[in-house]
Structure 1
Amino acid sequence: MSIVISNGVLQVPGAQDKLRQKGRERVGFFDDYTMIDIETTGLSTYRDRITEFGAVKVRGGEVVDTYSNLVIDPKNNKVPAFITKLNGITKEKILAEGIPAEQAIHEFREFIGDDLIAGYNVNFDLNFTYDLVEKYHEPRLANDYIDVLRLARAYYPGQHNRLLDVMKRSGIAQVEQHRGLDDSLDTIKVYQDFAKYFSPEVLHKAQASIKNFDLTSKPLPIWQLGRFNPISNKKILLANDLELDLTDVNLMINNLSGEAQDELAFDTNYVIVNDRNFFSKDELNTQIKELQHSGSKVKKLTETFFLGMLDDWARS
């Protein structure tokens, strides 16, 4: 069976349960949705955490409700200095003004409901939110979504397209607040501005940028590899006890301009291991540590993390 990307979603036979079961991206302009934006302590869903939720409910193109809360983590509320410099959020501010994470995710999930979700580079926000929803056993976040960044890339091809860049070009604002509610409101302005000026041709270009590839049929040309392909130029070894089909995954690695290796070497970039064996002290893990101690840059990734990287690229 093939590993494919279907309408921007990675499909891996026998391992689909290892992926976040998010909705599908819808490329277009809609009158009813909930715009979301979160603030975090960093970029990694595994190491970092949400510090603020912001959302705006839109009906008929008009704002009808808002949600905003800082989030108190049950264990750690330290905020890196560079984040505080960016948005003014501190540990003291979170503890003084925030609400517990369990309460915050319940309220945020309830606020979103069954709505079409919108956001700027929204998969970042969805990944963090999805994981917190799962942690606290809220209704799964499988809503379809709009990514305003995809629209920006089609409208301003070949340019830097941070939210701030687009706001400046549109005359919407000269600064980005980096706060959940403020950025949600600004992104609505960007989205509605695009709705006024998008031609059918540009909208079709944005829609056509959604990936639909068979990753196990033949090597993808450079133009299809696109942005942020996590496998390009990486040498990857698969452990023998994976739940994934090793033949298909090795083929996929080579088709995505990576190199599937038969054995561990000093130049190996990634070793993909069974989720249960990440902390194992077996021979393979011992060899990885020895290589790392000798200067190798090899990294060990679980199947779930590896597939998550690929799904993020598939949806980009």
Structure 2
Amino acid sequence: MSISVIQGVLRIPAAQDKIRQKGIEKPGFPENYTLIDVETTGLSPYRDRITEMGGLKVRHGEVVATFSELVKFPDSNKVPTFITKLNGIDEAAIEEKGLPVQEAIKKYREFIGSDPIVGYNVNFDLNFVYDLAEKYHLTVLNNDYVDVYRLARSFYPQERHNRLLDCMHRMNIAENQEHRGLDDCLDTKKVFDEFHKLFKQEHMLRAQEAVKTLDLTSEWPDIVKQTQAFHSPFIHKKVVIAGDLDLDEYELTNVVKNLGGFIQEEVGLDTDYVLVGDHDFFRTDVTELNKARALKKQGQNIRTWSESFFLNVLDNWARS
């Protein structure tokens, strides 16, 4: 079994069902699309919640419909203080105005339909929306997409930061970013439209070439490691593989090494990650997993990842 990235998508025969079946990133400027942005309580779709969904339906470059809903969950709608300070969304607003999550995601998924999706750092939004759509048994969110952040990095390769706000400043669009779903959609469209006017062939080629296609298991030359492993989740990390995984351990070892990590035989005081098979994650008889749990209780910053979680982390890197 080989592990590869093809056009930004992680490909793993016999384990493909462990990762989100999202669409393919296709840098470009479609005339018809849906632009999305979600606000959340944090960065992890596994731990955090969507608080607001925003969207624009665009036809021939013009907005023909908008979507804006706060999202209310049945158990908890608490919002971290720093998030409320950022965008003004708090628990009271969600409880008063929020649409129940099942209704909200159904409406949002229908609004997106089969359109190409556009967004800023849009893989982040896709993960949250994909997981909610899957939870409520809706149509799989496998639409192809355009990441405006990719376009920004292509157009401004010399800049260290290319956040949405950075582009808004450079293009004299606005001084501040609202960090609200619909407002950010409108600002993203303005940036997207400006890029459409300004892009030359060299910019588009740079963006298209930045979408990864790589064999992750064969040994990379040093120059490839330097360029591809820079934003890797494993750069300078020490990793222990434990339990029974569906992935071939030799190939998995090469993946970690190519991405700047180090494989350890046993869990120690300097271990960063322990990777275990999905069926092993809650077992109590896996020696290295038990060591990791004990060190975590003692305050060590060591993480235990199931195989599925690891593969989705890897897929996010592949799409970055």
The question of a shared fold, defined as TM-score above 0.5 by the shorter chain, is answered with yes
For residues 108 and 149 of structure 2, what CA distance do their matches in structure 1 show? 22
Q: Which residue pairs with 1:38 in the alignment?
A: 38
User: 1:225-280: per-residue Cα shift (whole Å, max 9, x none)?
Assistant: 25521111111111131111111101111122211222222221111112233222
For residues 8 and 313 of structure 1, what CA distance do their matches in structure 2 show? 9
Q: Is the 8 A contact 2:225 2:258 kept in 1?
A: no
Q: Which residue pairs with 2:304 in the alignment?
A: 300
Matched, 1:141 2:180: no
For residues 293 and 174 of structure 1, what CA distance do their matches in structure 2 show? 45
Name the SS of the counterpart of 1:34 in structure 2.
Answer: strand
Q: Which residue pairs with 1:16 in the alignment?
A: 16
285, 306, 313: which one pairs with 1:309?
Answer: 313
Q: Which residue pairs with 1:206 in the alignment?
A: 207
> What TM-score do you get using the length of structure 2 for normalisation?
0.96
Give matches, 1:1-316, under 5 Å.
1-159=1-159, 160-219=161-220, 221-225=224-228, 227-284=230-287, 285-316=289-320
Name the SS of the counterpart of 1:67 in structure 2.
Answer: strand
Counterpart residue identity of residue 81, structure 1: T
Q: Is the 8 A contact 1:7 1:210 kept in 2?
A: yes
Structure-2 change in CA distance of 1:195 and 1:21 (3 Å): same
* 1:304 positional shift: 1.0
Counterpart residue identity of residue 52, structure 1: E
Counterpart residue identity of residue 305, structure 2: L
For residues 226 and 269 of structure 1, what CA distance do their matches in structure 2 show? 17
Q: May I ask how many residue pairs the two structures share in their alignment?
A: 316
Name the SS of the counterpart of 1:241 in structure 2.
Answer: coil
* 1:38 positional shift: 0.3
For residues 127 and 98 of structure 2, what CA distance do their matches in structure 1 show? 21
* 1:224 positional shift: 2.7
- Tell me whether 39-48 or 225-234 shows the greater mean CA deviation: 225-234
Q: Is the 8 A contact 2:19 2:308 kept in 1?
A: yes
User: 1:34-81: per-residue Cα shift (whole Å, max 9, x none)?
Assistant: 000000001011110000000000000000001110000111100111
User: 1:85-131: per-residue Cα shift (whole Å, max 9, x none)?
Assistant: 01110111011111100000000000000000000000000000000
For residues 183 and 226 of structure 1, what CA distance do their matches in structure 2 show? 30
> What TM-score do you get using the length of structure 1 for normalisation?
0.97
User: 1:159-196: per-residue Cα shift (whole Å, max 9, x none)?
Assistant: 21110110010011111010101100110110010000
Structure-2 change in CA distance of 1:286 and 1:13 (3 Å): same
Q: Is the 8 A contact 1:148 1:191 kept in 2?
A: yes
Runs (4+) of structure 1 moved beyond 6 Å?
Answer: none
For residues 143 and 212 of structure 1, what CA distance do their matches in structure 2 show? 20
Q: Is the 8 A contact 1:79 1:90 kept in 2?
A: yes
Structure-2 change in CA distance of 1:128 and 1:216 (3 Å): same
Name the SS of the counterpart of 2:158 in structure 1.
Answer: coil
- Tell me whether 227-236 or 122-131 shows the greater mean CA deviation: 227-236
Structure-2 change in CA distance of 1:207 and 1:311 (3 Å): same
- Tell me whether 212-221 or 25-34 shows the greater mean CA deviation: 212-221
Structure 2 unaligned blocks of 5 or more: none
For residues 234 and 82 of structure 2, what CA distance do their matches in structure 1 show? 29
Q: Is the 8 A contact 1:67 1:181 kept in 2?
A: yes
* 1:295 positional shift: 4.9
Name the SS of the counterpart of 1:249 in structure 2.
Answer: helix
- Tell me whether 252-261 or 100-109 shows the greater mean CA deviation: 252-261
Structure-2 change in CA distance of 1:227 and 1:184 (3 Å): farther
For residues 38 and 24 of structure 1, what CA distance do their matches in structure 2 show? 20
For residues 191 and 301 of structure 2, what CA distance do their matches in structure 1 show? 41
